[in-house]
Each structure stands twice: as C-alpha cells, then as structure tokens.
Amino acid sequence: MIGEARQSPGGGAMSVAEIEHELGKLRANDDGTLALRSSVLNLIVVTDEDSAPDVTRAVSNLAGRHPARAIVLISDPDGERNVDVRISAFCNVRGGGAQVCAEQITVHAEGPPANHLESLAGPLLLPDLPVFLWYPGAFSPLSPEFAAMADLADRVVVDSAAREDREETLREMAAMVGEKEMPAVGDLQWVGLSPWRSLLADAFGSPERSDELEKIESVEILYAPGGECRALLLLGWLASTLGWSPENATRDGSHRRVEFSGPSGKVSAELSPDSPDARLRRVRLRSPGYSFQVSRHRERAEVRTTVLRGEDLAAERTVRLGSFDLGVLVGEELRYRGCDEAYEAALRTAVEVLDL
C-alpha cells in the first residue's frame, strides 16, 4: 500500500479541541493542500500497556481497508492519575494525488479516569459513523464500565477466550447478548469458526447428502487446550441450527460428552482437547450411512474435507484456511453492522450445555 505515516509531535494532556486541531494539521500536505478525510467507521479499542504494541499494529493494518478514526485507550486504573494523548495519521495516496487519511488517537488513562473511559472516547468519535468497540483482552461484560463503553457503540467486538475463566465468560456474554440495551456483539472466536462452518455446510451440499443433516447421530470435536470456547461455539452452532436440544452432559477433566435430542433421535457429542498447534483440529459428524470430516493439517494452514459413505470416499477436498491474524479477524467483524443471530443462538446453546 502506498501511504505515509504521520506523527504529531505533541502529546501529553490535550483538550478535545487541541486533538482535533492536531489531527487537522496532520491532514495538511507539504504543498499546502489538505487531504480529504473519508471514513467509514469509528473504532474504539480498550487495552492495557502490555498488549498495546500488538493491538496498535493490528489497528494500523486495518487502516487501508477500513478508513477509520481509531481511538486506542490504554487503561491502568491502579496507576497515578494521568491522561496522556498521542496522535498519528496514516495517509493513503490514491491515484491523482487525492488522499485518504485514517487517524489514530492513543490515550493513556491512569488512575480514576481509567474507570471512566467513555468520557474520553465519546467526545473523540466522528459523527455520523458507526462505532465499533473492540476489547482485544480480558473484559467484564456485566461491569458498569463495560456498559458505559457499550453505550457508545453500535457493535462490540470481543474475544471470548481472552479471560482465564472461559466458561464464566461465555455465561456472562450470553447474559449480555440477551439485554435489549446492548449493541450487537461480535466474538473473534466465532469469526475464527467461519471457514469451518462453511466447509461443514459444503460437505452436505450435494442433494443426495443434504438429507443426512437430519440423521446425524454423533459429533466429535478435537481442539487445542485453550480452544474450548471455539469448540463449544461450534457445537452450539450445530445444535441450534439442526434443532438439537441439550439433555445431559458429563465431563472428565477437559473431556466433555453431551447428549442432545434431535429431530430423529439422540445425538451424542464429544469434545476433546488435542495437541496445542491448532485451536481446532478436527470436526467429524456421523450419520448411519455417512461420515463427514473437516480436519486441519498439522503444519500448514490447510484443511481437508472428506465425506465417507460407509468405507468409501465419496468426496474429498483440501483448501487453505486463510489467515487468522488478529487484524484480519477484527477486520472481518468490522464488515457487519447488525446482530449476528447465528452467533447469538450458538452462544445460548453453548451456555445451556455448560449449565447441564
């Protein structure tokens, strides 16, 4: 991408007017002309000191595809009271010299202001554009701080696997999604599932196999330790889409068995941890006549789909899984505006499974 990063020299405590003025100056070119700013969204990111460099990198990678005003809030409630502002812009030269600038405002908030981030982010938002709120790390969906931030947003993007207690996170998220006041929610664990979901759906694509969907008897999901959220969401998705209701569950360490009642009888599911090199290793669905499997290559980011009729290979295909870079995942989420009903149903079912 042709472009240039521009850094404002200032910093420290700044007023909203000073910040806007500095951003305006960054749009001025050397020849005295002004870059036009065309933006499609606001992106607020709430993070901490340790994750800030990675997050900032991901945000600047988004600038090309999603010209935005990014407000990166680095929060440290335990620190000494301080608010420090840094400003940069990334101006992208398109043909004819016209420029499009994406802007980034980084605010370090320490002490009490860190508990009122909404008062810092709100005034910096661009009018008329949707607001995405991204928590790359741990977050508490039911806290007043989160609610105040969510109030600013049209869509909240989180990572349900970011916290240690993943089950509790899923429960809290399901409660959050149920609230009317909450904006739409996106989950990076869910975005990561999207190629898996489409590959599984493809496996049932041909007319003679589509009937098998109603006859599924068992599901096996192999996931990496730490990939439990993704596995549960995938199971939740299968169950909610295919009309299975969870009946009972047993667990042995991190190995889980779940019984569902489906439209044509019992469905048993097994979730087992596997090697740590891929968050999802393999998904296998069986019906009386068929076995459908999608599995990831051990080294390469490739997945192989196989359909067996009895012992015979009925269909086979290997495709690239695509990048799971943080920026790519978040970028996917920024394409959507409204509620993702499939996700919400999957999340609710996953929590029903947890609560059995």
Question: Which residues contact another protein by CB under 8 A?
Answer: 15-17, 20-21, 23-25, 27-28, 32, 34, 36-40, 83, 107, 109, 112-113, 116, 118-120, 122-123, 125-130, 335-338
> Which residue, 123 or 289, has its beta carbon nearer to another protein?
123
> Which residue, 148 or 162, has its beta carbon nearer to another protein?
148
- Shortest gap between Cβ of 10 and another protein (angstroms)? 14
3-state secondary structure of 100: strand
CB 194 within 8 A of CB 322: no
- Shortest gap between Cβ of 130 and another protein (angstroms)? 6
- Shortest gap between Cβ of 121 and another protein (angstroms)? 10
- Shortest gap between Cβ of 86 and another protein (angstroms)? 15
- Shortest gap between Cβ of 8 and another protein (angstroms)? 13
Taking only Cα atoms into account, the Rg of the chain, rounded to an integer number of angstroms, comes to 23
> Which residue, 20 or 167, has its beta carbon nearer to another protein?
20
| Sequence-ordered list of residues with C-beta below 8 angstroms from that of 254, at least 6 positions apart, any chain | 225, 228, 272, 273
- Shortest gap between Cβ of 119 and another protein (angstroms)? 4
CB 49 within 8 A of CB 24: no
Helices 228-242 and 341-354, interaxial angle, to 10°?
110
Angle, vertex CA 62, rays to CA 59 and CA 66, nearest 5: 125
Closest CA to 63 of 86, 26, 24, 37: 37
> Which residue, 68 or 269, has its beta carbon nearer to another protein?
68
CB 88 within 8 A of CB 71: no
CA-CA distance, 31 to 49, in Å (whole number)? 37
Closest CA to 188 of 151, 230, 155: 230
> Which residue, 24 or 276, has its beta carbon nearer to another protein?
24
> Which residue, 150 or 238, has its beta carbon nearer to another protein?
150
Residue 153, φ and ψ in degrees, nearest 5: -105, 155
- Shortest gap between Cβ of 31 and another protein (angstroms)? 12
> Which residue, 83 or 314, has its beta carbon nearer to another protein?
83
